[in-house]
Amino acid sequence: MLGGHRRDNRRVHAEPLLGNAIGSTEDSFVIVEWTAEAGDHWIAPFHVHDHDDEAWYVLEGVLGFRLGDDQVEAPAGSAVFARRGTPHTYRNAGPGEARYLLVMTPRIARLIDEIHQPGADLAAVFAANESRLLPGP
């Protein structure tokens, strides 16, 4: 489940994605469309996935990324790839909302579901999903 959505067993899935996920923790990958509110704050804590890749495609606005020691700004139409083992985080780097697609593995989708549960122990959830929280950025 990602954001309260259960596995969808339909052979064809064609409907608006905003706020929903296509794929599940039981599939090979998951894609979500999310909106980042305006404001200069990191959306995710600085972290690393030891065995999973993650990618973003910016639909509207600008996202800012820290990938290892590099800082990158990605305007609409840009794609960003965080290869497994690369410390990373991201934020809305523009003056308005940013809308984007996030492509992730089922393990990352599960991690995201679990860290949003009330009382979640973030370090334990990251560790259980073969990821680690890091100091910074």
Provide CB contacts within 8 A for 78, sequence distance 6+.
Answer: 57, 58, 63
Q: Report the predicted TM-score, pTM, of the whole model to 2 decimal places.
A: 0.84
Q: Is the pLDDT of residue 133 over 90?
A: yes
Domain ranges in the chain are 21-131
Does domain 21-131 fall into CATH 2.60.120.10?
yes
Q: Which phi and psi (to 5°) does residue 58 adopt? A: -85, 120
pLDDT at 1: 42
pLDDT, tens only, 74-132: 999 999 999 999 999 999 999 999 999 999 999 999 999 999 999 999 999 999 999 99
Computed on alpha carbons and rounded to an integer, the radius of gyration of the chain in Å comes to: 15
Query: Is 114 in a helix, a strand, or coil?
Result: helix
Burial class (CB in 10 A: 0-12, 13-18, 19+), 132: middle
**Are 133 and 126 contacting, i.e. CB atoms less than 8 angstroms apart?**
yes
How far apart (Å, rounded) are the C-alpha atoms in residues 89 and 111? 15
pLDDT, tens only, 4-58: 444 555 555 455 555 667 777 677 889 999 999 998 889 999 999 999 999 999 9
Of the CA atoms within 13 Å of residue 56, those in its CB half-sphere come to: 29
